[in-house]
């Protein structure tokens, strides 16, 4: 058994307020076997393979809770899918997964693909036949006929179609079910972003059928009324949660309180180019969006971090930029790191395995130059990534 010793100036155990100075971590057989001060740990593994980072910080591998590995970020990311075979799409997905890994992301939750490609890639990465982060895969997202991302193949209308689609996804190896509860921006002619694609009864039925096959539900929901229906239905996470109506943004305090009370996590997807995104919204709408996020935070809503990588303007290699958005609107750095680690692991159902650096956890580890608790920009200075204990330096991720 080869033991690996990683030392650094500081280690973030998780949550971010638990730190160790002059720290050391030992990895063996894909798991963390020791974690503490260098003085305590180093003498116990005299023959270990060493990685020393005297100016670095060791922290849990980052989690991107919302990606689409099948999408390439083109202005129209759907069109290329229609002319590629599943094998060609898989090759593209492998490259995007490697880009995420190089950015320090050791887990991604893929919230919509074609042909179950994300589940297939998940198993390839787990078998170490290719490099990449752990994948939590939703496979084909449910949408209404002609609805948001209908081209991925998940159109359903009747309860029978809903039931059959959920069971097909489960048979493909889905880890969760994704429903496009409201409209989106990538399907010309589909419902607008604020409009409901499923009513309250249908959403409740989707959650019920997902529970029958042991799967949680993530709901894409922009519309204020749809957000309320998702909370009532019992989804595990709400994606975007942007409080849109036909007339603009309408934040609902009672619904936000219910989100917090029921411990529904919110993935308020923001790409690394958040400044450009806010500029496109315009000053008034951008201010309203940031205000809604801050009000949700004050209401006790639990946020998790996601980029929506794969859609236009959201590359796989710029995870840190999304985190910097939350810091820019007033979230403390430690809270932002928790969104990307412990809180995300809990919401994705993988707490106890990843998201913290503790003995017995799977060795998903990131080392950066500097201290992200004082400067989130240090997350762009990746020195080492370990995914399930497999060590990668950036030059090795290819």
21: domain CATH number is: 2.30.40.10
- Tell me the sheet residues that pair with 7: 24, 52
Tell me which of 308, 330, 348 is where a domain ends: 348
94 plus 205 within the same structural domain: yes
Q: By the 8 A CB rule, do 282 and 215 touch?
A: no
148 plus 202 within the same structural domain: yes
Output DSSP code: residue 48: -
- Tell me the sheet residues that pair with 265: 237, 302
147 plus 184 within the same structural domain: yes
Q: Dump the DSSP string for 333-379.
A: HHHHHHHTTHHHHHHTT-BTTBSS--TTSB--EEEEES-TTT-GGGG
330 plus 217 within the same structural domain: yes
Asked if omega into 211 is within 30° of 0 (cis), the reply is no
Domain that residue 302 falls in: 62-348
247 plus 193 within the same structural domain: yes
Whether the predicted pLDDT of 239 surpasses 70: yes
pTM of the shown model:
0.97
- Tell me the sheet residues that pair with 137: 110
Per-residue tokens: 213: 């096959």
Which of 199, 204, 189, 124 has its CA nearest to residue 150? 189
pLDDT score of 232: 98
Number of domains observed in the structure of the chain: 2
55 plus 68 within the same structural domain: no
Q: Dump the DSSP string for 188-207.
A: TTS--TTSBSS-HHHHHHHH
Give residue 1's pLDDT band: very low, low, confident or very high (50, 70, 90). Answer: confident
Tell me which of 325, 348, 371 is where a domain ends: 348
| Positive/negative CA dihedral, 166, 136, 338, 328 | negative
27 plus 131 within the same structural domain: no
Coil, helix or strand for 37? strand
Phi and psi angles of residue 391, each rounded to the nearest 5 degrees, phi first:
-80, 135
278 plus 367 within the same structural domain: no
257 plus 392 within the same structural domain: no
pLDDT score of 305: 98
Q: CATH number, domain at 257?
A: 3.20.20.140
264 plus 389 within the same structural domain: no
The pLDDT mean for the chain works out to 95
- Tell me the sheet residues that pair with 12: 19
Q: Measured between alpha carbons, how far is 72 from 92 in angstroms, rounded to an integer? A: 8
Work out the average pLDDT over 246-250.
93
Coil, helix or strand for 211? helix
Give residue 303's pLDDT band: very low, low, confident or very high (50, 70, 90). Answer: very high
106 plus 18 within the same structural domain: no
282 plus 369 within the same structural domain: no
Over the stretch 369-390, which tens digit does the pLDDT of each residue have? 999 999 999 999 999 999 999 9
pLDDT score of 397: 45
Tell me which of 327, 348, 369 is where a domain ends: 348
């Amino acid at each position: 058994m080869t033991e690996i010793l990683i030392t650094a100036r500081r280690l973030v155990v998780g949550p971010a307020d638990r730190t160790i100075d002059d720290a050391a971590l030992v990895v063996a057989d894909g798991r963390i076997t020791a974690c503490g001060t260098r003085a305590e740990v180093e003498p116990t593994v005299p023959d270990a393979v060493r990685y020393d980072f005297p100016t670095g910080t060791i922290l849990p591998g980052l989690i991107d809770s919302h990606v689409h590995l099948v999408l390439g970020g083109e202005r129209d990311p759907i069109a290329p899918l229609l002319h590629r075979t599943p094998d060609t799409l898989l090759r593209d997905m492998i490259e995007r997964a490697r880009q995420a890994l190089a950015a320090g992301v050791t887990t991604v939750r893929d919230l919509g693909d074609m042909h179950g490609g994300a589940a297939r890639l998940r198993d390839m990465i787990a078998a170490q036949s290719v490099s990449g982060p752990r994948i939590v895969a939703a496979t084909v997202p449910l949408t209404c006929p002609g609805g948001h991302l209908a081209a991925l193949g998940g159109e359903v209308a009747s309860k029978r179609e809903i039931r059959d689609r959920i069971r097909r996804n489960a048979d493909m190896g889905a880890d969760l079910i994704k429903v496009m509860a409201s409209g989106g921006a990538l399907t010309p002619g589909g419902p607008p972003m604020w409009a409901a694609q499923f009513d309250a009864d249908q959403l409740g039925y989707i959650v019920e059928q997902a529970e029958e096959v042991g799967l949680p539900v993530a709901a894409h929901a922009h519309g204020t009324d749809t957000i309320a229906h998702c909370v009532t239905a019992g989804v595990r996470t709400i994606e975007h949660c942007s409080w849109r109506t036909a007339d603009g943004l309408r934040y609902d305090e009672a619904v936000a309180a219910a989100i917090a009370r029921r411990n529904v996590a919110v993935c308020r997807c923001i790409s690394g180019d958040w400044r450009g995104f806010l500029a496109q919204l315009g000053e008034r709408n951008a201010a309203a969006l940031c205000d809604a996020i801050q009000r949700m935070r004050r209401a006790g809503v639990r946020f998790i971090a996601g980029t929506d990588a794969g859609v236009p303007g959201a590359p796989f290699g710029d995870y840190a930029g999304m985190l910097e958005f939350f810091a820019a609107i007033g979230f403390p750095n430690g809270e932002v790191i928790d969104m990307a680690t412990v809180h995300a692991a809990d919401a994705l159902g993988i707490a106890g395995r990843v998201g913290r650096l503790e003995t017995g956890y799977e060795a998903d580890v990131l080392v950066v130059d500097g201290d992200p608790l004082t400067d989130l920009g240090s997350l762009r200075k990746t020195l080492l990534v370990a995914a399930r204990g497999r060590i990668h330096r950036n030059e090795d991720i290819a």
